[in-house]
Amino acid sequence: MLTYLFSYLLLMLVIMNLAISTLISMQFLMYSNSGSRYEQWIKPIIYVAMLYTSMSVSYHFIGVVAHEYLLALLIFYLVDKKQAILLVIITPFVRMLYMLFVDGHLTTVNVLASLVVAGMAIFYMKVFDKYVSNQTLSMILSEIFIVATSLFFAPFIPHVVIYSIFNQPTNWIIRATVAIITILITRKVYFQVTNLQNKNIQLQKEVIFDKLTGFFNYKKFEQDILLGPDKQTNTGIAVIDLDYFKNVNDTYGHEAGNKVLQEFSLFLRERLAYKLNSKDLGIYRYGGEEFVWMFDPNNFSDIGKFLKSMQLELSKLPLGDQNHLMSFSAGVSFSKNYKFNLKITFDIADDLVYQSKKTGRGKIVIEG
């Protein structure tokens, strides 16, 4: 009996490891920007692999298949509830295939019992999630009811009952207790891992984003434009400079100037974001009040007209606590004119905006 109990506890450690691995894999997918149309199928594939492994290990450790819904339950609460319902639906079919290979046959009763247990598992999850506000308690109650239901239908599902731990009346208590311990440990480890991951993502953002404006910073600008590889497609670069910003700083102080920059940045984001290719193009804060916008010229029939309409809007929009009415100057160049060299394209755009400021403010100069 002690050998059997030791094997069962060791099995729970294996399942816990599989659960944590599955959850972390799911978490990484949440941060994926691949945009692949096949991405939605990766989660079920990972889950089925983990589930089949846990069933196989379970069967060889203690001769039965234990805790079939533990992984789906954890995923349901911790990563993706909608996706987890799909995983719970998949579970009995994976188990039936496994039983088919183990036993060599399946009966109608086996199939119906497996589907009923899956349906009840979904019911428990939804009910406790809705009516129990504490996430941990909701998970525990769901697992207890799932274990009890699984044992109730065990006579109709081969290789589910744990026959030899103590006696039948305490069987469900032991299984539910071990399941709860597994859930609590897995949940703790999962959140520690995801917290570290979130901190790492935040650090990565701080490296390439400007804190004040939320745009890419100079380091990112340097990587993408000054030192980055040339794009073999026509790319537009606009250098946008906020006019008379130095007067705001000198008169009202840096805090007032920062407020103006933040609101101007929001203005730019709202007007330009829908035109940006989120994967390749973006807005950079090049200097104090100078911004670089890298865009796809194919999105515009007349870039000059578009920027002038932005100028008109900005002239009517008070910025900062002092309600400053500001303007901007801009120089625009295109990489097709310079063998797609982005650095040269930027230098030309920067020179154009400098020339425009020498003859006044609020001007847009577009090459050619």
Once rounded to an integer, what is the mean pLDDT over residues 210-237?
84
Residue 325 lies in a domain: yes
* Same domain as 111, residue 83: yes
State the pLDDT confidence band at 168, using cuts at 50, 70 and 90.
Answer: low
Q: Examine the fold and report which residue of 205, 238, 256 is the final residue of a domain before the chain moves on.
A: 205
User: Comparing C-alpha atoms, which of 326, 338, 343 is closest to residue 367?
Assistant: 338
Distance of CA 254 to the CA centre of its chain: 36
pLDDT at position 103 over 80: no
Residues 127 and 260 in one domain: no
Question: Is there a domain that residue 320 lies in?
Answer: yes
Whether residue 278 sits in one domain with residue 167: no
Residue 125: CB atoms within 10 A of its CB come to 26
Residue 70 in any domain: the answer is: yes
Residues 325 and 359 reside in one and the same domain: yes
Cα-Cα-Cα-Cα dihedral sign, residues 254, 256, 262, 266: negative
Picking from 37-41, 146-150, 219-223, 274-278, which range would have the lowest pLDDT averaged per residue?
A: 274-278
* pLDDT recorded at residue 232: 79
Do 197 and 293 belong together in one domain? no
- Whether residue 307 lies inside any domain: the answer is yes
Distances in Å between the Cα of 239 and the Cα atoms of 91, 226, 256, 328, 347 are 56, 14, 23, 10, 9
Domain of residue 296, CATH code: 3.30.70.270
Residue 347 in any domain: the answer is yes
Asked which of 183, 205, 227 is the last residue of a domain, the reply is: 205
* Strand pairing category for 364-366 and 328-334: parallel
Summarize pLDDT for 351-366 with one digit per residue, the tens. Answer: 998 887 877 777 888 8
Q: What angle do CA 278, 282, 285 make, to 5 degrees?
A: 150
Task: Specify whether 58 is located in the same domain as 201.
Answer: yes
Same domain, 255 and 160: no
User: In the numeric block, which tokens belong to residue 355?
Assistant: 């020339």
Q: Which amino acid is at 152?
A: F
Over residues 71-77, the mean pLDDT reads 83
Residues 256 and 168 in one domain: no
Number of structural domains (the chain) is: 2
DSSP letter for each residue of 155-166: GGSTT-S--SSS
- Picking from 173, 205, 237, the residue at the C-terminal end of a domain is 205
Q: Is residue 213 part of a domain?
A: no
Is residue 211 assigned to a domain? no
Q: Are 222 and 196 contained in the same domain?
A: no
pLDDT digits (tens, 9 = 90+) for 15-26: 888 888 888 777
What's the domain range around 271? 218-366
Look at residue 206 and tell me whether its pLDDT is greater than 80. no
Rg (CA), the chain: 30
Region 252-262: what's the mean pLDDT?
87
Please check whether residues 45 and 133 belong to one and the same domain. yes
Q: Are residues 284 and 195 part of one domain?
A: no
226, 322: one domain: yes
